[in-house]
Structure 1
């Protein structure tokens, strides 16, 4: 294992501005963050960050006083874990940095990787999917809707990605409000049909709008979650149906899930990679 003390100090600033005591305190937090729920002893922390036990103890007492670290008795030894002050800072950071700010660099990479226009959307208070950010792909084909335009959730990949994370009763309530009009011959128009689809979406981590809103157009979406597992937004790409096989669609779905998980991780979600489930 590489110790935290071996990590270069102040990688993005000049070394002369780096304070060793602050750097070591951060090393302690990173060491605790990398360990299991049982925490670490003073001796273990000292070894990991490459300092004496007395220095490690002094650092821990400083962090304890500000609730960045907590200590517990386990098996006759005093062990240390991350404290709840970090939870508060995480909440503040998430509130200060909106999901759109976090997602835009990822969307640009997604569009570059797939060659398709990508979007970020949320469910509004009435249950409609609303795109709040977009990265256009190169080329003359423009098939994505305008920002701020409401989309029916039952026939959009963005809407289905987010509904798959909701309790069934909540989904039914949203559908009662938005309705389930038939947009094409492929649109699911009953809650029972949609619920079966949402089970698959939840299992594989991505959703399809396979000509359900517009004939000839396919959209693939995947939800972004926060650290509580709640769906806060979704990303999607849109393309023409022509020439796409089922394997192509599922491969694209796996790519969407990967990028959505990256944004989720930025929001503090504990991402559990999933194997794509064939529909």
Structure 2
């Protein structure tokens, strides 16, 4: 954290706490079953060996780190107290709580209604939404079960599956035609989902309802797994193709922001 709404907040940072956080991050980068020596930690965090040892000793005292071995062979790893705290953190904040501020900003920036959905069986179920406040509203209801093959939310979730999983799911629910634009062929859908994965967002271009478009992007949690999706929805009204791409980028970035708040580490940031 470097800034807040009140300006530069670096003066509020406690150096010893920041150092402890950096040490925990270094320990988190080790492979399962391995650990780091004091020298390893000092090098990774740019600390002296004495500062690294003192920080590690303090973290071990609180159960946030653990050590094995003796002397030069002593190695440090993350402590099990972090697992307990992680569970409590998940319990204290729901997906809706985390996503709502981002959805509000997304609606403000795009002028479109936004929604949040979670997977339930073969469908995407809407659990929250932010209206754009326009006089003419598209009928969007909480608890709506979005079809997987022809909606922005549904396709965003579907794209997180393997082709085999997609085939199995579609084998159960089918590919009902909603409009003349609906994809009703499995091979075409699988190819389309490949493009969705590359773009990072799914476009429903009048595939579920005539005159309506929806753009969705998947959410990922701390495990890297898909835990939901968000979308924006609007009336097509001759919207130019470049505008879809711009909206897709905005929805994708909003999904990434929510995912980071859920503890997801993007691939390019993975140690």
Moved more, 63-72 or 237-246: 63-72
Matches within 5 A, 1:121-132: 121-125=117-121, 127-132=122-127
* Structure 1: gaps (5+ residues): 12-19, 274-279
Of residues 122, 135, 139, the one that matches 2:134 is: 139
In 2: Cα distance, 1:153 partner to 1:43 partner: 48
1:157 aligns with 2:148: no
2:23 to 32, 49, 52: 32
- The TM-score, its normalising length taken from structure 1, stands at 0.78
* Distance in 1 of aligned mates of 2:238 and 2:20: 51
Cα 1:245/1:27, change in 2 over 3 Å:
same
Q: Return the TM-score normalized by structure 2.
A: 0.81
Task: Report how far residue 270 of structure 1 moved.
Answer: 1.2
SS in 2 for 1:158: helix
Query: Residues 33 and 64 of structure 1: is their aligned pair in 2 closer, same or farther, counting only changes over 3 Å?
Result: closer
Q: Partners in 2 of 1:124 and 1:226 — Cα distance?
A: 16
Q: Structure 2 unaligned runs (5+)? A: 3-8, 31-35
Q: 4+ residue runs of structure 1 moved beyond 3 angstroms?
A: 6-9, 33-46, 48-52, 55-59, 70-73, 76-85
In 2, Cα distance between equivalents of 1:168 and 1:95? 33
Q: Is the 8 A contact 2:221 2:262 kept in 1?
A: yes
Q: CA RMSD in A?
A: 3.2
- Cα gap change, 1:219 to 1:84, in 2 (>3 Å): same
Aligned mate of 2:195, from 197, 200, 205: 200
| Structure 1 partner of 2:95 | 99
Q: Kindly state the Cα deviation for residue 229 of structure 1 after the two structures are TM-superposed.
A: 1.9
Residue 17 of structure 1 corresponds to none
